[in-house]
Amino acid sequence: MTKFNIISPEFQEDPYALFAQLRQTAAAVPVAPLGFYAISRYDDVLYVLKNPQLFSSSALQKAFTMMAGSMMQGEITGLLQHNMLGMDPPDHTRLRRLINRAFTAKAIEDMAPRIRAITNECIDTILQKGEFDMINDLASPLPIIVIAEMLGVEPERRQDFRQWSNDMVSLGASMEMPPPEEASRQNQSRAELFAYLEEIIAERRREPQDDLISAMIRAEEEADTLTAEEVMSMTVLLLIAGNETTTNLIGNATIVLRDYPEVREQLKADPTLIPDFIEETLRYNGPVLGLFREATQEVELSGVTIPQGAFVMPLYASANHDETVFPNPEEFDLLRENKKHVAFGFGIHFCLGAPLARLEACIAFEEIFKRIPNAVITDDKVNWIDSFILRGVRTLPMKTLAAHTVD
């Protein structure tokens, strides 16, 4: 088949080297072991994302079912069927319109003080500890607490949410099938998540609150615009989609600060550059490498014929390193002018949570630069997670240094 393999230790260590080869090769290249067509160039990725009638998102459900195979339980397959991420218009349009209301720019802006307070609680704990883990102590709890509060689920159960999130995203995204005991533990964990959410949804049905789950139930009951399965599916999507990704954004940005000390100094001197720092991190090493689409008919893409029914994988991270669009793509350029990266996708499925993720990451680094500006990563080697969909680390040991210490 093909010499390109996205399930290899080399890929995990440096996916960008393989992406560069793919961009040199052709607009669409089948990659081992599953035979997806990798779409690696910026213009082609945009073309796929702009044409949902040619490239259907239902691929998501099929691809995960195919990859996760026996690991899937019926309820998870059902959940994917009712998931906005894996839907096409008109169902996608209906769901997106409904949920958009909770994610307007104003609604997100209003959350800033609470996001700052949560960040500062995390940093209080970090300062007490001295030695800490950026992922466990800040990057993971922050988005989990925020979305848990929005949905109206108990933030105190954040350890459970984290475990559930990890076990949901590990589904099919991993380089290897887990051993049977681990697969069974993951299934158990996913079942627990469903049981927990069923309970919460039933409670909100009896006694609505001022939260997102109650708002979705109202839409289901009053306007008949959302089915019960969709309420469940949307809750899981919101709980999962935004957590690991935002965690990885904060983690990946922290790794940039280690690798580019001059950027760190610039940000210390001028924190108004933090939004630029977050945008360039999204381009340079964003949390999502790529996702799936299915060709609804035979399509010609920049000279390559993609057969009907073939799966394609638009590689957002490769598009963001396309040298014809972003000069010197392997360099982190804080002041890069072109900010048109596709780390949040593009078109009708453009990330619903992008304004929230940006706000959380910006506030996190504003407070980091105020309170622990000299914190450093203590391990020389970072271990990238085992996934060809997500990019990030599970742990990032660090220590705080006094603000006056020059390192």
- Which residues sit at the interface with ligand HEM, rule CB under 6 A? 57, 84-85, 96, 143, 147, 237-238, 241-242, 245-246, 249, 286-288, 291, 316, 343-345, 349, 351-353, 356-357
> In angstroms, rounded to a whole number, what is the distance separating the alpha carbons of residues 266 and 271?
8
Q: How far apart are CA 406 and CA 265, in angstroms?
A: 11
320 versus 400: smaller Cβ distance to ligand HEM: 320
168 versus 291: smaller Cβ distance to ligand HEM: 291
Instruction: Find the shortest distance in angstroms from Cβ 280 to ligand HEM.
Output: 13
| Residue with the two structure tokens 């014809």 | 324
Q: What span, in angstroms and rounded, lies between the C-alpha atoms of 235 and 204?
A: 13
Find the shortest distance in angstroms from Cβ 143 to ligand HEM: 6
Q: Which is nearer to ligand HEM, 332 or 400 (CB)?
A: 332
Which residue number has the CB closest to ligand HEM? 353
Beta carbon of residue 402, minimum distance to ligand HEM (angstroms, whole number): 31
Encoded amino acid at 167, one letter: D
Nearest distance, CB of residue 278 and ligand HEM, angstroms: 9
Our CB check for ligand HEM shows the closer of 95 and 375 to be 95
Q: How far is the CB of 10 from ligand HEM (least distance, A)?
A: 23
Q: Which of 260, 269, 194 is nearest to 229 (CA)?
A: 194
243 vs 400, beta carbon nearer ligand HEM: 243
Dig out the tokens for 148 from the structure: 């848990």
Q: Nearest approach, Cβ of 151 to ligand HEM (angstroms)?
A: 9
To the nearest 10°, the Cα dihedral for 45, 168, 95, 116? -90
Pair 266, 273: CB distance under 8 Å: yes
Amino acid letter for position 326:
F
Asked if residue 192 lies in contact with residue 271, where contact means CB atoms within 8 angstroms, the answer is no
Query: What is the DSSP secondary structure assignment for residue 407, as one 8-state letter?
Result: -
Query: 260 or 292: whose CB is closer to ligand HEM?
Result: 292
